[in-house]
Amino acid sequence: MKNDFVITATETMRNYAAVVSGILNKYPDFSTKQNLSAIDGLDVKCFADGEMEVEISTSVRGKDVIIFSSSARNEAGLDVNKAKLELYHAVDALKRSRAERIIVFEPYVSCGRSDRPLMRNSVGLWIHFKTLVNLGVSHIVTYQLHSDKSKAMIDPALCIFDDVPVFTLLKKYLCDHYIKDINTLETTVHNNWAFCSVDAGGEKLTRRFANAFNAPLVVAHKQRNYSKMNTVESINILSAESIKGKVLWIVDDMIDTGGSIKSLVYALAKQNPAEINVVAVHAPFSPPARERIAELTAQKLLKRIIVTDTIYFPPSTPTDFPNLQIVPSAELSARVISNIVSDRSMSDIHKVFNAREYLNNLDLFSM
C-alpha cells in the first residue's frame, strides 16, 4: 500500500461510507487500523446565525482522506445548498489538518446537468468543481456523469478526475436476476429483448447495453421545449425491427421528475411490446416522479424500475415505489478506493461488459 488512508463522510453519506469501510476491512491488504469510522470523522457545528464550521476529530496528518458526500436526497435531510457547503467546509478543515491527499467521492453530482455555458447563465458544475479544486482537493470521483464533456472541466494538472461507469452494475444485475445462464441469453434475450434510449443523446449508452446482450437497439427521438424545464413535446420511435411482443428496457443515466419516462412509455406502449422496464443509474425522483411512476404502474404499462443506490432511499421507498429494485454500489466503491490508495490502474473497472463472458465465468465458478 502506498499510503495510510482514512474514510470519512459528511452527514449526507455516513451510513454509506460505513458500509464501504466495512467491505474494505475484509480485503486482505487492509485493516481496521487504517480506516477511520465514517461516523466519527467530522464534527459539524452550526451557529445561531446559520453559519457552520467543521472540525476534524482525529489526526489525518500525512494521510490520504476519502470523503463521501452527496448534495441530492440524503440520510441527513440536508438541502442541496447546505450539503454542498458542509462538503466545502470539510475539505477546508482536512486541508488545514495537513491531509496528504483529499479524495472527494461524490457518486451522484446534483449539479451535473448545469454544464452548458450559454449567453448569461452560470454553470453549476464548473462552480462546484472549481471550488473543490481551489480548496485543495487532489482527486474527485463521480459515478456516471450526465455528460462526457463535463470531464474536461477539471485540469488534470491540478486535480485527478475519475468518472466511474456504473452501468456494468446494472448489466450484471440483469444477468444475475433475469438471465442466469447462456441458454436464456441465446434464446430469450437475443430474440425477445430490446434496449431503448430515452433520446438521441442517450443512444451511445443504450447501444452499449444492446451490444453487451446482443439484442436490438431502439432509439427514441424526442423534441423538447427548452423554454420550459423537464418538458417533452413529441417522441418518434426509431427501430430496425418491430418491437411488438418484445421485452423493452429503457436505459437512462437518471430518473428525475419522470417526465421523459412517462412520455416514452406511452409512446412505446402504442407498439404493443410484451412489457416495458426502466434501468437507470441515478434516481433523484424529484416531484412529481412518484405520481407519474404510480400512474404508469397502475395502468400496467411499466413493469419494473431498476436503479442503483448512488442516491439515498428513505424507508418509505418500498411503499412509494413498489416496482422499484435497488442495486447496491458499495462494493464497487470499495474496489475504486482500493485501486486509488494502492495506485493501481482503473482499467478493470472501465472494462467493456459482455453478458456471454460474464455468464460463462459464473458457470465456471458453479462447477
What's the CA gap between 286 and 296, in Å, rounded?
Answer: 16
**287 preceded by cis ω (within 30°)?**
no
Same domain for 159 and 202, yes or no, is no
- Let me know if residue 360 belongs to a domain: no
Q: Number of structural domains, the chain?
A: 2
Same domain for 133 and 184, yes or no, is no
Residue 69 three-state SS? coil
Same domain for 46 and 139, yes or no, is yes
- Let me know if residue 366 belongs to a domain: no
Q: Is the pLDDT reported for residue 364 higher than 50?
A: no
Same domain for 320 and 178, yes or no, is yes
What's the CA gap between 356 and 346, in Å, rounded?
Answer: 22
Q: Is the pLDDT reported for residue 240 higher than 80?
A: no
Higher pLDDT, 222 or 239: 239
Same domain for 99 and 201, yes or no, is no
Q: Is the pLDDT reported for residue 32 higher than 50?
A: no
What's the CA gap between 8 and 31, in Å, rounded?
Answer: 15
Same domain for 93 and 229, yes or no, is no
- Let me know if residue 348 belongs to a domain: no
- Let me know if residue 353 belongs to a domain: no
What's the CA gap between 213 and 115, in Å, rounded?
Answer: 32
Q: Is the pLDDT reported for residue 35 higher than 60?
A: no
Asked if 21 and 7 touch (Cβ cutoff 8 Å), the reply is yes
- Let me know if residue 107 belongs to a domain: yes
Q: What percent of the chain has pLDDT over 70?
A: 90
Mean pLDDT score of the chain: 90
Residue 209: per-residue pLDDT: 96
Higher pLDDT, 266 or 223: 266
CATH for 172 = 3.40.50.2020
Same domain for 44 and 115, yes or no, is yes
Same domain for 218 and 336, yes or no, is no
Residue that the C-alpha cell 488534470 belongs to: 156
**Is the pTM here over 0.75, yes or no?**
yes
- Let me know if residue 206 belongs to a domain: yes
Same domain for 265 and 116, yes or no, is no
Tell which phi-psi region holds residue 75, choosing left (phi > 0), alpha (psi between -120 and 50) or beta: alpha
Q: What is the pLDDT of residues 309-348, one digit of tens each?
A: 999 999 999 999 999 999 999 999 999 999 998 888 999 8
Determine phi and psi for 87, rounding to 5 degrees: -60, -45
Same domain for 255 and 119, yes or no, is no
Determine phi and psi for 296, rounding to 5 degrees: -65, -40
- Let me know if residue 291 belongs to a domain: yes
Same domain for 102 and 239, yes or no, is no
Which residue range forms the structural domain that includes residue 181? 167-328
Residues 6+ apart with CB under 8 A from 112: 125, 142, 145, 146, 147, 150
Asked if 67 and 9 touch (Cβ cutoff 8 Å), the reply is yes
- Let me know if residue 115 belongs to a domain: yes
- Kind and range of the H or E run holding 337: helix 330-341
Q: What percent of the chain has pLDDT over 90?
A: 73
What's the CA gap between 29 and 117, in Å, rounded?
Answer: 44
- Relative orientation angle of helices 289-298 and 259-269, to the nearest 10 degrees: 20
Residue 241: per-residue pLDDT: 84
Same domain for 75 and 219, yes or no, is no
